[in-house]
Structure 1
Amino acid sequence: MKKHSIILLLTCMVSFPLLAQKNLEQVLMDIESNNKTLQAQLQSLEARKLAFKSDIRLYNPNIEYDFLKGQPFSVGNQTDILVNQAFDFPTAYSRKKELASGQSTQAELDFLSGRQGILLEAKQTMFSLIYRYKLQQQIEERKAATEKLLQDFEKKLSTGDGNILDVNKAKLQLIEINKDYQLNTAQINQLLQHLSGLNGGLDISFTATHYPDELSLPRFEELFEEMKSLDPMWRFYELESSTAKKQVEVMKAMALPKLEAGYRYQGILGATFQGFHVGTTIPLWENKYRVRQKEAELSFAGLQRVDYQNDRYYWLKQKYEQYEKLASTLQEYREVLGTLNSIAYLDKALVLGHISTIEYFMESNYFYMAYTNYLQTENEYYQVMAELLRFRL
């Protein structure tokens, strides 16, 4: 491999064309529009919001008609008509309206969290593809260099200047490289298929070979405060306590008497009677344990909120520490690899006969292994950063 090839690879590590960045963002936009899970969740969101609204409506009006035929016929017939409307105690409706509003907001936050999860999965899949594309570029260059060496060894063997051992070593090395090439190609195809699945089954083209521009993450405390303000589930669990409290208030309001009012008509013995109808239902048994149940749920919601917040804090702390370690290791790799020219030196040493073929392949494999480890570290770095910034999606 020539010196300029190594320099080109290392330059690609730290640069990012604007076109590739737009490509990544465009893919995320396409997936957000085409993802079937998101489409289903959006329909479910609308259904849930309508269900919450339905709980604050009045009961259906009641109409009764009775026709009673008299015996003997001389007493005449009796006709009764009743039209009435039942409703809860007036304070219950304001409580229900507040509860429905809170539940709708929670449903929206739940949807946003699911959306972020799918977009994060898509973003990490694209980062994995970038890693595989970069690895494929390295394997192809190794493959081309080894094929050239094999041709040179075979040519020397045909003229009597070479030996069969060098030819066999080059063939074995080429077999290993071809195996890595096929495995990496299969991984690329699987990742592209997964990306298409996230895109609603529609084929999607993503060929970027560079990561987005590196973002300078704020200090942990600042990032934690940003997460608290943007994470949908953080707000979801904060609202959960408020919603549970409103449910207690609704149950207490529902424990008050229900009322009904309407119009009654009665016709009997040639006379008619008509006027207002009023009534009440006293809830002695129906809601006996409902208030206590909602109070228990309120206590549970408070504990659940604290548990989630603690979990998110320590999760973010662990990920942030992992990010810092990966950033340090990645910088060390870049500094060392940026100054190396191992392959060029090995090519020259092999031509001059200063090293054997087996030494050449051992040293070149060591360099490529280090470069592959660098690519893996780089990918882990961006994967962790994507997780840390999930709430910005």
Structure 2
Amino acid sequence: MNKQIVFAICGCLFFVGGFSQTKNLERLLNEIEQNNTELIGYQSYIESQQLENKSANNLPDPQLTGYYLPFGDNITDTYSEYQIAQSFEFPTVYAARSKWNDIKSVQLQTAYAKRRQAILLNAKEFLIELAYFHRQKAIESERRSQGKQVYDQIQELYNKEQVGILDLNKAKIAWIQEQFVVEQIENDIQILVSKLKTLNGDKPLDGLSTQIDLPVEIGSKDDLWLEKLAEDPSLQELKTNEAASLQKMKLEQNKVLPNVSLGYNHQGVKGNFNSGFFGGLTIPLWSSKNKVKAAQVNHEYQQTNTQVITTAINAQFEELFTRYQLMRSKYSEYQITMGNLESEKLLFKAYMLGEYSFMDYYVELQFYRNASDKMLQMEKELHLLQAQLLSHQL
């Protein structure tokens, strides 16, 4: 592997093209959001639930009743009666329930945002891994070519009886192993492309980048946590649940007020009848029992639950941030060290000059290749950690 490939690995996080690659990443995530079947279905579910919640605040249906009593010892004309009535809860109940429905709509939107975040974070992680595999494939393809070159040279030396069959077999096995590595990476790439296609509503994604460059600086821990508190759907869901439980308590308090019935009544016989308006009250002595208390206890639970889950999310955030800082520090050390080395090139020259046997050359080569692979793996993990830390920005 030549010097340019080494620098490509080492400088991947600092390319000038990072901005455009980030824009490309945003474009792909936007496309997935528009085409994801789960999110499309969830939007329809939200609409249906909002309509259902709104219908729960309608007035009861008006009631029409009538009596026609032709039988009996009538000394007058047949008696008849009819009545039209409309009942409804106390007016403040409808206002309280309307506010509750509004908060429930926000709950639905927050649940959607939470699911959207999970899907887009999953897609972003797939895109990061895809870029990693493409970069790894380029490196392994170069190694495969170099392995073929070494094998051809040893084959030539073997034909001249300058090396034995064991060296020839070792060189061939090393070359075959590199071929298998490339094929395995190609298979991994196809799996990721298939997963991304599924997330994109079973539609292929155009313009998949072979490189994802994200900014290394993500801000201070305190600023990032405050941003997460304000924007993260999981934390917003807790606040919304708390607000909904408070409004439910206010609704139950209003439902203690009496229900009202109003109507018109007409009764009597032909030529002799009475008609007029009537009204009534229904006192909810039994139907409202313990409901206010239950709503109050639920609100207290939601307040406690908000504190508990927020503390747990903060602990997870602290752990992720610490891991990110450690990984970034180690990656920087690798980057500085590997960026100043030309170990593989020097090893190859030494081997060509006969200073190393094939086996010694291969052992030394694997050491430096493992170090290079480790740094590339660290870069991927750094990007994945960053994606989790910044998931609230999706």
Would you say same fold, with TM above 0.5?
A: yes
**Which residue does 1:253 correspond to in 2?**
254
Q: Identify unmatched segments of 5+ residues in structure 1.
A: none
| Matched AA of 1:285 | W
CA distance in 2, matches of 1:335, 1:178: 30
* 1:299–1:3 distance in 2 versus 1, CA, 3 Å: closer
Taking structure 2 as the reference length, what is the TM-score of the superposition? 0.94
Q: Quick check: 1:327 aligned with 2:328? A: yes
SS in 2 for 1:58: coil
Deviation at 1:239, TM superposition (A): 2.8
Provide, for residues 25-76 of structure 1, a one-character-per-residue CA deviation record: whole Å limited to 9, x for no partner. 2211110100011111111112222222223222221122232223356543
Are the counterparts in 2 of residues 195 and 204 from structure 1 also a CA contact under 8 Å? yes
CA distance in 2, matches of 1:197, 1:68: 70
Structure 1 residue 85 and structure 2 residue 91: aligned? no
Q: Counterpart in 2 of 1:132?
A: 133
Q: In terms of mean alpha carbon deviation, does 206-215 or 253-262 score higher?
A: 206-215
The 1:325/1:349 distance shift into structure 2, 3 A limit, reads same
More off after superposition, 102-111 vs 126-135: 102-111
Matches within 5 A, 1:204-219: 204-205=205-206, 207-219=208-220
Give runs of aligned pairs for residues 29-48 of structure 1, distance below 5 A: 29-48=30-49
Contact 1:330–1:378, Cα closer than 8 Å, also in 2: yes
- Give 1:10 shift: 3.7
Alpha carbons 2:96, 2:251 under 8 Å: kept: yes
Matched AA of 1:353:
G
Query: 1:345: how far off?
Result: 0.5
SS of residue matched to 2:240 = helix
| Closer, same or farther: CA 255–7 of 1 in aligned 2, 3 Å | closer
Distance apart, 1:268 and its partner CA: 2.0
CA gap of 1:319–1:53, structure 2 versus 1, over 3 A, is same
Percent of counterpart pairs with the same letter? 25
Provide the residue aligned with 1:172 in structure 2: 173
Deviations 1:73-118 (A, max 9, x none): 6543222221111111122122112212222122212211211111
4+ residue runs of structure 1 moved beyond 6 angstroms? Answer: none
> What aligned pairs does 1:163-202 form with structure 2 within 5 A after superposition?
163-202=164-203
**One-letter amino acid matched to 1:15:** F
Separation in structure 2 between the aligned mates of residue 170 and residue 205 of structure 1, nearest angstrom: 40
Query: When the two structures are superposed, what TM-score results if normalisation uses the length of structure 1?
Result: 0.95
Letter of the 1:85 counterpart: Q
CA separation of 1:10/1:325 partners in 2, compared to 1, >3 Å: closer, same or farther?
closer
- Supply the AA of the counterpart residue of 1:268: V
Give the Cα separation in 2 of the matches to 1:192 and 1:35.
15
**Structure-2 change in CA distance of 1:96 and 1:13 (3 Å):** closer
Correspondence for 1:2 = 2
* 3-state DSSP of counterpart to 1:346: helix
Q: Note the C-alpha offset of 1:141.
A: 0.9
Residue 195 of structure 1 aligns to which amino acid in structure 2? L
Q: State the Cα distance separating 1:332 from its structure 2 match.
A: 0.9
CA pair 232-165 structure 1, distance change in 2 beyond 3 A: same
Determine if contact 1:64/1:83 at 8 Å carries over to the other structure.
yes
Secondary structure in 1 matching 2:360? helix
The residue that corresponds to 2:116 in the other structure is 115
Residue matched to 1:303: 304
Q: In the alignment, what sits opposite 1:157?
A: 158
Q: For structure 1, which segment, 203-212 or 280-289, has the greater mean C-alpha deviation from structure 2 after superposition?
A: 203-212
Whether the 8 Å CA contact 1:150–1:170 is kept in 2: the answer is: yes
Measured in 2, the distance between the counterparts of 1:223 and 1:366 equals 39
TM-aligned CA deviation for residue 305 of structure 1: 0.8
Moved more, 206-215 or 332-341: 206-215
Take 1:257 and 1:249, find their aligned partners in 2: how far apart are those partners? Answer: 15
Residues 259 and 280, structure 1, Cα contact 8 Å, conserved in 2: yes
Q: Distance in 2 between matches of 1:3 and 1:216?
A: 27
Deviation at 1:129, TM superposition (A): 0.7
Q: What stretches of structure 2 of length at least 5 have no aligned partner?
A: none
1:156-181 CA deviation, whole Å, 9 max, x = no partner?
A: 22233333222111111123222222
Q: SS where residue 263 of structure 1 aligns?
A: strand
Q: How many Å apart are 1:261 and its aligned residue? A: 0.4
Paired with 2:53 and 2:228, the residues of 1 have a C-alpha distance of: 29
The answer for the alignment partner of 2:358 in structure 1 is: 357
30-39 or 211-220, which moves further after superposition? 211-220
